[in-house]
Amino acid sequence: MESSKSPRIPDIARLAGVSTATVDRVLNQRAGVRAGTQQRVLQAAAELGYAELPAAPALASRAAPKPMRLSFLLPAGHNRFIRMLGDMVGYSQEHWTPWNVRCKTEFIESFDPQALAAALRRHGQRADGIALMALEHPAVREAVHELVAAGVPVVTLISDLSNSPRTAYLGLDNRAAGRTAGYLIGRFIGPRAAKVALIAGSRSYRAHEEREAGFLHVLSEMFGQLEVVGLREGHDDSEQNFAQTASLLEQHPLLAGIYNIGGASDGVARALKEAGRDQKVVLIGHGLTPDTRALLIDGSMDAVITQSPQATLANAVRIFVNVREGRPALAGVESTRSQVIFRENLP
């Protein structure tokens, strides 16, 4: 039967993330393949049950290289998308086996640049690569400079760090994401004059600044009838977002739209529901999680702009492996894709 066929070289190449020529060289014990790549190919072949693994003494006696130690530093708090991303690092460990890496997550006090800088230096003493959601702050920038100078590659996730020597950024084009949110709110509200508001986690994140700028830009370009009545910071906390939204509704009873730039959209939706405005105020937010999914289904939320956490992690690992093996950092790494999720197209 088709399912009983032995795995082929292309199957091994796909799992190991290398070319078929590299697989052929390893299986036939030819020179010219890095030890780490060789180990990854052999692990992939064994995992797939390939029947003709080489057993030459040269391979058997060669010590396997130590796994690359990768640390993911993410903000603690109520942002469920970030929490989901961090938790995924741990329970996806078996997927990283062919790449010979070991990943761990540490959640850092949100919005505290000194705590993040200290964590960077601490992990830099023992990690072979660090991925982080960066705060835009000189202390963080200096810590990244020190790590890169010491030979530790750094990848920024979701929010980038300006004027830094980081190896790569993995995340949305945040200005485009903000423009998308503005376009959606403008189209949902229609041609009438109305007031809209923004709630951010913190402008300390470059991502939130860029989303705000994109949102305001598209409104000025296309929806001049909409008045922005200010931006509040809720620090991605449900209770703070609830309080900020309740205050906005009290000051502007006919508020027509809210763009939640960060996380904890459940706090915004709860305030709208308690005011009886959840089916009248357009709410756009970020990050498809169980709570935002539920809000889409009950109509409290109109759209969620999101990205794949699985793809983000896989691309981060691939970047670090590329650096380890001397390839360009972004070789084989696809650009982060933005998705707009409505109730009617929930995956």
Tens digit of each residue's pLDDT (9 = 90 or more) over 289-328 = 999 999 999 999 999 999 999 999 999 999 999 999 899 9
Residues 165 and 179 occupy one common structural domain: no
The answer to whether residue 300 is domain-embedded is yes
Domain containing 44 equals 2-61
Domain boundary among the residues 46, 61, 76 is at 61
Query: Average pLDDT for residues 178-200, to the nearest whole number?
Result: 97
Token look-up 């230096």 returns 121
Residues 197 and 292 occupy one common structural domain: yes
The answer to whether residue 31 is domain-embedded is yes
Residues 147 and 28 occupy one common structural domain: no
For residue 334, is pLDDT > 80?
Answer: yes
Residues 127 and 42 occupy one common structural domain: no
For residue 36, is pLDDT > 50?
Answer: yes
* Distance between CA atoms of residues 218 and 207, nearest Å: 17
Tens digit of each residue's pLDDT (9 = 90 or more) over 156-168 = 999 999 999 999 9
Tens digit of each residue's pLDDT (9 = 90 or more) over 8-33 = 788 888 888 888 888 887 887 776 67
Residues 6+ apart with CB under 8 A from 102: 67, 68, 69, 70, 93, 96
Residues 206 and 313 occupy one common structural domain: no
Residues 178 and 79 occupy one common structural domain: no
Residues 200 and 322 occupy one common structural domain: no
Domain count, the chain: 3
Q: Are 330 and 322 in contact (CB under 8 A)?
A: yes
Mean pLDDT of the chain, nearest integer: 90
Other CB atoms within 10 Å distance of the CB of residue 55 = 8
* CATH number, domain with residue 135: 3.40.50.2300
The answer to whether residue 344 is domain-embedded is no
Residues 88 and 141 occupy one common structural domain: yes
* Distance between CA atoms of residues 268 and 111, nearest Å: 20
For residue 243, is pLDDT > 70?
Answer: yes
* CATH number, domain with residue 27: 1.10.260.40
Report DSSP letters for 194-245, one per residue. EEEEEEES-TTSHHHHHHHHHHHHHHHHH-TTEEEEEEEE-TT-HHHHHHHH
Residues 182 and 298 occupy one common structural domain: yes
Q: Are 5 and 12 in contact (CB under 8 A)?
A: no
Which of 7-11, 105-109, 150-154 is most confident?
Answer: 150-154
Q: Are 295 and 260 in contact (CB under 8 A)?
A: no
Residues 298 and 185 occupy one common structural domain: yes
The answer to whether residue 16 is domain-embedded is yes
Tens digit of each residue's pLDDT (9 = 90 or more) over 297-306 = 999 999 999 9
* Distance between CA atoms of residues 37 and 39, nearest Å: 5
Positive or negative: CA dihedral 108, 111, 115, 120 = positive
Confidence of residue 3 (pLDDT cuts 50, 70, 90): very low
Token look-up 């000189």 returns 138
